[in-house]
Each structure stands twice: as C-alpha cells, then as structure tokens.
Amino acid sequence: MKAVIDASIVLAALAPDEASPSAMRIIEPFLLGGGHAPALWPFEIANPLYWKVRRGLLSSTTAEQALKSAYRIPLTFDQLSPAEVARDVVPLCWKHGLTAYDAAYLELALRLAAPLASIDNALIRAAAAEGVKVL
C-alpha cells in the first residue's frame, strides 16, 4: 500500500538536527516502495533545509546530503495541474484551518483513497476528521 508522504515526516526522519527514530520507522517502508506526494513536495523539502543553513543550524554539506536522501525516495508526484487541485484544496483550508500546502497533502490522500504519513498535528487532525488513515 502506498501512502501520501508529507514533507514534515521526511524532514523529521532525515534532517540531522531533527533525527526522529519514530519518523524514520514510519517512512522506512516507503524508502524503497515509494509513495505519493503533491508536486510541491520537493520545494517543501528544500525550503526548510535552506533556512536551517541560513540560520547556521546545518552546514550546507549536511543539508545537501539530507536533500539528496529525501529526493531518492521513489515518489509518484501528482500529475494534476495546481489550478485543478486548488479547487479542492481551498475548501479543505477553510474547513480545517490548514495552509494550502498542508491541504494539498490531504486532498491527494482523499483523491487516491490512500493513507497519509505525517507528523504535522493540524494535518493529522484534519485527516482524521476526513476519515483518512494516518500512519
């Protein structure tokens, strides 16, 4: 079974300054087996790592290694255009108080009838309210 993989759980598993063993256990099956993600996923991985380097929390070499590890996860990215997805994302934002970025993960999980792997509390609550299984 493939799940929708939120960037938050990947960063928690792979970023050395976060290094969560429980997050790693959750994403481990997807490191080889793959999963699904919205098209914005690569940017959601890169942006926090960039800011950690800017703030001196990580070296650029360490951030680059985490980025490469994340990008090796065999994900299937959503093929719908952002405009098509936004029609369903925006109502989820309003309903659950989510950012559009987080609602994009929930929308994809709903559309694919797939579980969601995340450590984002607001996203987890919204997924549960929508009947989406959270890993």
Share of the chain above pLDDT 70, in %: 99
Burial 78-95 (b: 16+ CB within 10 A, else e): beeeeeebbebbeebbee
Euclidean distance between CA atoms 36 and 132, whole angstroms: 14
pLDDT tens figures, 6-48:
999 999 988 777 777 788 888 888 887 889 999 999 999 999 9
What residue numbers bound the domain in which 61 lies?
4-129
pLDDT tens figures, 42-68:
999 999 999 999 999 999 999 999 999
Q: Do residues 69 and 30 lie in contact, with contact meaning Cβ atoms separated by under 8 Å?
A: no
Euclidean distance between CA atoms 62 and 83, whole angstroms: 35
In a domain, 37, yes or no: yes
In a domain, 95, yes or no: yes
Burial 8-32 (b: 16+ CB within 10 A, else e): bbbbbbbbeeeebeebeebbeebbe
State the pTM of this model. Answer: 0.91
CATH code assigned at 94: 3.40.50.1010
Number of domains observed in the structure of the chain:
1
In the block, residue with structure tokens 């509390």: 121
In a domain, 13, yes or no: yes
